[in-house]
């Protein structure tokens, strides 16, 4: 799935449940990868919202879609 540069309520509303779950998984994977790298780089000084713009942007995109998934009553697949 091709994700837009800016995720907004109109885009979220236009997605089917399956597409929204797929987007949530892709965005979570991207955010987690960046988050782990920043935690490794910053160590004890790590703070999510004081991280680089790319990290906070990845968190915001994932967070918006994750919230929409929950509001629809969908269940995220196991990430193990």
pLDDT digits (tens, 9 = 90+) for 13-53: 999 999 999 999 999 999 999 999 999 999 999 999 999 99
Rg (CA), the chain: 13
Say which DSSP state 2 is in.
Answer: P
Q: What is the largest CA-CA distance in the chain?
A: 41
CA atoms within 13 A on the CB side of 11: 13
pLDDT of residue 49: 92
pTM of the model: 0.90
The Cα–Cα gap between 20 and 29 comes to: 14
């Amino acid at each position: 799935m091709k994700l837009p540069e800016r995720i907004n309520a109109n885009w979220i509303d236009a997605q089917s449940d399956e597409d929204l779950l797929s987007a949530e998984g892709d965005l979570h994977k991207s955010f987690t990868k960046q988050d782990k790298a920043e935690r490794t780089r910053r160590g004890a000084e790590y703070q999510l919202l004081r991280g680089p713009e790319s990290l906070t942007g990845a968190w915001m995109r994932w967070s918006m879609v994750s919230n929409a998934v929950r509001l629809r009553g969908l269940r995220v697949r196991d990430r193990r």
